[in-house]
A and B are shown apart, each in its own frame.
Chain A
Amino acid sequence: MSEAIVFDNVSIIFGGTAERALALADAGQTRAEIQAETGDVLGVHDCSLTVEAGEIVVLMGLSGSGKSTLLRAVNGLNAVTRGAVRVDGGEGLVDMASADARTMRRMRRSRIAMVFQQFGLMPWRNVTENVGFGLEVSGMSRAEREARVSEQLALVGLSDWADRRVGELSGGMQQRVGLARAFATEAPILLMDEPFSALDPLIRQRLQDELLDLQARLKRTILFVSHDLDEAFHIGNRIAIMDGGKIVQAGTPQEIIANPKTRYVADFVANMNPLRVLRAEDIMQPGATAPEDAPRIAHDTPVQALMAEQLAADGTVAVEEGGAVVGMVTARDVLTALTNADKRRPDEDKDGDKA
């Protein structure tokens, strides 16, 4: 795998006295203290993270944690105060923090596309014209554009709505237009800033699943911002949890569930819906041999499907990976995992960050 986005000690300060604010942040002062002293707002501080090509990484945290700020540094919507944001520009990595206007435009036109929380669609344009916006900006001819756009509309199931004004569409459909607009430029990197937060829960889940389907086919690199842990765990290959402008923990959903590093992360994990996140391998007894007649299930079976198997098979199932049985899950294991308090409430000594 190759690197698609590299955050290298990124700090972003909003305000005029960046150097003093940075010095205070380096000295370990909190955001509130820095704001009281300098009037500047610390957006993010010393964030490092690497996103590999083809993976979905979710930046997650409460509002004000700096996740959107960090995301928007990737395409230069927010200026980086210190550090570098290197993005795969086709021929090697390009530092967006120091890119000139021309390089910035080239990256925005052909390498990085974005989906917005409030959709960012032009109400005076119809669906086709909105989806073609990025292509139009980069100077593609109308005929070429229309062919590409109708392809994208088919992809998101909006072909019948091509000539409608976007104001006539529901929120979910508008965000499909936003997705199609981002996919249309064929940029390999996709930034998604809480794209589904403004939608109803049902529509939100459907669009999450659609996004995963599209991703399975299109294989983009996606950096996704969310404040919803269930969404983050559902969508992300890896998750970076942010608090107060810093990345406090980054890892796969399973790593984070198994070992939340701070109380903040633990609180998030405690409030997630384990049925949507846990998989057979997360809760099995590794190496244990199941009874011969126990049904076999794949190691990445979601726990809800696993429970259905258990119901049919009197409690115990065997977990297999690559054809070999690697463990088993009893009814008791499931109950333990779903009620397990010790894993989701870390010991006090783990809670170093807040102590």
Chain B
Amino acid sequence: MALFEDTKIPIDDAAEAVFAWAKSNGRVFFDALSDGLGGLIDTILWALEAVPPLVIILIVVALAWLVHRNWKVPALAGVGMLFILNQGYWTETMESLTLVLSACVVCMGLGVPIGILGARKPRFYAALRPILDLMQTLPPFVYLIPAIVFFGIGMVPGLIATVIFVLPAPIRLTQIGVASAPKPLIEAAEAFGSTSWQRLVKVELPWAAPQIMAGLNQTIMLSLSMVVIAALVGADGLGVPVVRALNRVDTGLGFESGIVIVVVAIVLDRLLRVERRGS
């Protein structure tokens, strides 16, 4: 027993070595990534802050009506956002939305193509699955540490941590959607002379559209669940007051900011929940 405990497998040192190597050799890559993501975040944040709150509320209500064609969802969205304004959390909400939207851009931009590739190449997907499991189960605090090392403090490491946690969802859902396209439809596409690309855009993606939309919904909700953790590495947004409340043991502030997060989550969820029409 003593012998067994004496020779500890050096995961600690190995991880240290890997990240040290990455830091010294990947400087250019990480800087470029940091600049790119920083640019994305700045652009979205600038747009959300340039528009007056009431105009944003009006746009969201109008969009809700266009998508859902009923009065319930627009009313809920309007009331919810007015509540946020009333509680004085508008700026934080816009900052968190920036994080969520950036995560959407990155996760859907990577997740959909990877999911398609996974559906087309089962062996690639079989190799990918344990990595996706790891990304979803590894506690986020663990990869926050290297995120700080590589990207410093701020929105970018928050976004990176969010993407690592969220990315598996759109990959999995896209893969399921594309892989489940019925054989008769695929054969019909082939029988009329489709190229592989035409088969994808004319059959597989339209078929997978509900799953891909579910992937988008998941991406948004999971990203929102990361705002508090992102705040720990210095990302602005609704997580900041929660962390502050925790440090000061301020129950009132904690609940106030917590409820605002819940309201944002409800509004986003209702906005995005589109029933599939047709079949």
Q: Do A and B bind each other?
A: yes
**Residues of A participating in the B interface, judged by any CB pair closer than 8 Å:** 75, 77, 104-110, 112-114, 116, 118-125, 133-134, 136-138, 165, 167, 181, 185, 191
- B190 adjacent to chain A (CB < 8 Å): yes
> Chain B: which residue is nearest A187 at the CB level?
B192
Task: For B191, give its contact among A75, A118, A167 (CB under 8 Å).
Answer: A75
- In the bound complex, how far is the Cα of B193 from the Cα of A106, in angstroms? 7
Task: Enumerate chain B residues within 8 angstroms of A125, measured Cβ to Cβ.
Answer: 206
- In the bound complex, how far is the Cα of B201 from the Cα of A122, in angstroms? 13
A133→B192 contact, CB < 8 A: yes
In the assembled complex, 20 residue pairs joining A and B whose CB atoms fall closer than 8 Å, in A order, are A77-B187, A106-B193, A107-B193, A108-B191, A108-B192, A109-B192, A112-B191, A114-B191, A121-B188, A122-B188, A122-B202, A122-B203, A124-B206, A134-B192, A137-B189, A137-B192, A137-B194, A165-B279, A167-B278, A191-B191
> Chain A: which residue is nearest B199 at the CB level?
A137
Knowing that A122-B203, A167-B279 touch, tell me 20 more A-B residue pairs with CB under 8 angstroms.
A104-B193, A107-B193, A108-B190, A108-B191, A108-B192, A109-B192, A109-B193, A112-B191, A113-B192, A114-B188, A119-B184, A120-B187, A121-B188, A122-B206, A124-B209, A134-B192, A134-B193, A137-B189, A137-B192, A137-B193
- In the bound complex, how far is the Cα of B187 from the Cα of A75, in angstroms? 11
Chain B min CB distance to A67 (Å): 16
B193→A108 contact, CB < 8 A: yes
- B185 adjacent to chain A (CB < 8 Å): yes
- In the bound complex, how far is the Cα of B185 from the Cα of A116, in angstroms? 10
A77→B190 contact, CB < 8 A: yes
Task: Enumerate chain B residues within 8 angstroms of A109, measured Cβ to Cβ.
Answer: 192-193
Task: Enumerate chain A residues within 8 angstroms of B191, measured Cβ to Cβ.
Answer: 75, 77, 108, 112-114, 116, 120, 191
Chain A min CB distance to B64 (Å): 24
Task: Enumerate chain B residues within 8 angstroms of A120, measured Cβ to Cβ.
Answer: 184-185, 187-188, 191
- B198 adjacent to chain A (CB < 8 Å): yes
- B195 adjacent to chain A (CB < 8 Å): yes
- In the bound complex, how far is the Cα of B192 from the Cα of A320, in angstroms? 46
A116→B193 contact, CB < 8 A: no
B184→A118 contact, CB < 8 A: yes
- In the bound complex, how far is the Cα of B204 from the Cα of A129, in angstroms? 16
A116→B279 contact, CB < 8 A: no
Sorting the interface of chain B by its residue count into under 10, 10 to 19, 20 to 34 or 35 or more gives 10 to 19
Choose among A77, A112, A133, A185 the residue with the greatest number of B CB atoms under 10 Å from its CB: A133
Task: Enumerate chain B residues within 8 angstroms of A165, measured Cβ to Cβ.
Answer: 278-279
Choose among B192, B194, B195, B279 the residue with the greatest number of A CB atoms under 10 Å from its CB: B192
Task: For A105, give its contact among B184, B193, B202, B278 (CB under 8 Å).
Answer: B193
Task: Enumerate chain B residues within 8 angstroms of A123, measured Cβ to Cβ.
Answer: 278-279
- In the bound complex, how far is the Cα of B188 from the Cα of A185, in angstroms? 13
- In the bound complex, how far is the Cα of B192 from the Cα of A112, in angstroms? 8
Task: Enumerate chain B residues within 8 angstroms of A104, measured Cβ to Cβ.
Answer: 193
B279→A124 contact, CB < 8 A: yes
- In the bound complex, how far is the Cα of B202 from the Cα of A63, in angstroms? 32
Task: Enumerate chain A residues within 8 angstroms of B185, measured Cβ to Cβ.
Answer: 120, 122
Chain B min CB distance to A173 (Å): 16
> Chain B: which residue is nearest A126 at the CB level?
B278
- In the bound complex, how far is the Cα of B193 from the Cα of A310, in angstroms? 53
Chain A min CB distance to B188 (Å): 3
Instruction: Encode B240-261 as 1/0 by CB contact (under 8 A) with A.
Output: 0000000000000000000000
Chain B min CB distance to A230 (Å): 26
- List B189-226 residues whose CB lies under 8 Å from chain A: 189-195, 198, 202-203, 206-207, 209
Choose among A108, A113, A122 the residue with the greatest number of B CB atoms under 10 Å from its CB: A122
- In the bound complex, how far is the Cα of B279 from the Cα of A154, in angstroms? 25
Task: Enumerate chain A residues within 8 angstroms of B198, measured Cβ to Cβ.
Answer: 137
Chain A min CB distance to B215 (Å): 18
A116→B184 contact, CB < 8 A: yes
> Chain B: which residue is nearest A111 at the CB level?
B193
Chain B min CB distance to A241 (Å): 25
Chain A min CB distance to B194 (Å): 5
Task: Enumerate chain A residues within 8 angstroms of B188, measured Cβ to Cβ.
Answer: 114, 116, 120-122, 133
Choose among B193, B198, B202, B278 the residue with the greatest number of A CB atoms under 10 Å from its CB: B193
Given contacts A116-B187, A120-B187, contact A138 B193 (CB under 8 A): yes
Chain A min CB distance to B231 (Å): 41
Chain A min CB distance to B111 (Å): 22
Chain B min CB distance to A153 (Å): 17
Task: Enumerate chain A residues within 8 angstroms of B278, measured Cβ to Cβ.
Answer: 123-124, 165, 167
- In the bound complex, how far is the Cα of B189 from the Cα of A105, in angstroms? 11
